[in-house]
Amino acid sequence: MWFIFAVLLFYEKTKETLKEEVYKMDVLELADKIINGKRLCREDNTDFFASCDLEKLCTGADRIRKHYMGDRVDMCAVISGKGGRCPEDCKYCAQSVFNKTGCDVYDFIPEEEIVRACKEDEKEGIHRFSIVTAGKALTGEDFKKAVHAYKTMSKECNIGLCASMGFITKEQLEELKEAGVTYYHHNIETSESYFPKICTTHTFGDKLRTLKNVKETGLKICSGGIIGMGETLKDRISMAFSLAEAGADSIPVNILMPVKGTPLEAVETLSEPEILRTIAMFRYVNPDADIRVAAGRKFFTEGGKKAFLSGASAVITGNMVTTSGSTTVSMDKKMFGEIGRII
């Protein structure tokens, strides 16, 4: 009996010691350990992310990025396939019927417009193209139109195809896969504990079940969230672990751009150092996923150059869905060339 007690006590002390080591560990040493196969987990003490030297943290994140992702920047462009009238109450969103934003409302756009935009983005050298639709889910005739558009793009274009159409069934995912889609995008938005403060018409669990369906269908997962909605850094760390646990392949990091008419219209925007700390943290927690700079580019200096020296390996380029981007594809290409990245 005493032997069992001693073993358990040793086990608990060892766990605490390991947690303390992670807490005290130099972030550059930690980066090297991650490169050598170590993975952070939810049980680790990750308080160091809040207080460690930012320059060292970003340098370590960039080392991890280079090891796992190389110097190539994955570029994605999107087109808004359907706008407005979303029945969900997400507090950040211009598309929600609960928010009085005056956003454009329109039905599913013509296939010709989608294919034309896809071809133009392909000519620009963009690697992926996605149709993004407003609403809880795309169903019926609108979904059939989307599938047909993807089949056309598969035949006429040579570009990776992604889809972002809200909650979706396995059967629909199979149809998209057969039509040429390789990635499905579905953000979890924030941490599980903070989620109810952002949305009440669906749950964090609903989000995770959708990602599970994507994984089981054999499509790659594109899922991230929005930072700057009033959450803490601990919330962002929790979100990063949720994405790691879900097996996310691509993680878009959006910075909230407050929209007038939403409950978050007066939220104070994040500083660039806080954004960079978050991006670097995402790289430490998800070393072999694409960390994708998405909406909110205007909050960066130099078009976001520092983000790509802090662990980011991918970007949504061109125009954002409901918020204006502050860069163009040509500006992005120039910036990537200046920092030695490959497109």
Residue 69: predicted pLDDT: 98
Question: Cβ(270)–Cβ(299) under 8 Å?
Answer: yes
Q: Which of 66, 89, 107 is the last residue of a domain?
A: 66
Can you tell me the distance from the alpha carbon of 250 to that of 242, in angstroms, rounded to the nearest whole number?
13
83 and 55 co-located in one domain = no
19 and 85 co-located in one domain = no
335: Cα within 13 Å, side-chain hemisphere: 20
Can you tell me the distance from the alpha carbon of 295 to that of 291, in angstroms, rounded to the nearest whole number?
13
Residue 17: predicted pLDDT: 46
Eight-state DSSP code of residue 194: T
77 and 161 co-located in one domain = yes
112 and 208 co-located in one domain = yes
254 and 186 co-located in one domain = yes
The CATH number of whichever domain residue 246 belongs to comes to 3.20.20.70
204 and 270 co-located in one domain = yes
Low-confidence stretches of the chain (pLDDT < 50) are: 3, 6-8, 11, 13-15, 17-23, 320, 324
Q: φ and ψ at 194, to 5 degrees?
A: -90, -15
Residue 215: predicted pLDDT: 98
Residue 13: Cβ within 10 Å count: 10
Q: Which range of residues forms the domain containing residue 281?
A: 68-338
Residue 328: predicted pLDDT: 83
31 and 166 co-located in one domain = no
Number of domains in the chain: 2
Q: Which of 17, 36, 66 is the last residue of a domain?
A: 66
36 and 123 co-located in one domain = no
Write down the pTM of the prediction: 0.90
144 and 204 co-located in one domain = yes
Whether 28 maps to a domain, the answer reads yes
13 and 72 co-located in one domain = no
85 and 29 co-located in one domain = no
Question: Cβ(295)–Cβ(255) under 8 Å?
Answer: yes
Q: Could you please report the per-residue DSSP string of 189-206? A: BS-TTTGGGT-SSS-HHH
Whether 343 maps to a domain, the answer reads no
93 and 44 co-located in one domain = no
Residue 202: predicted pLDDT: 97
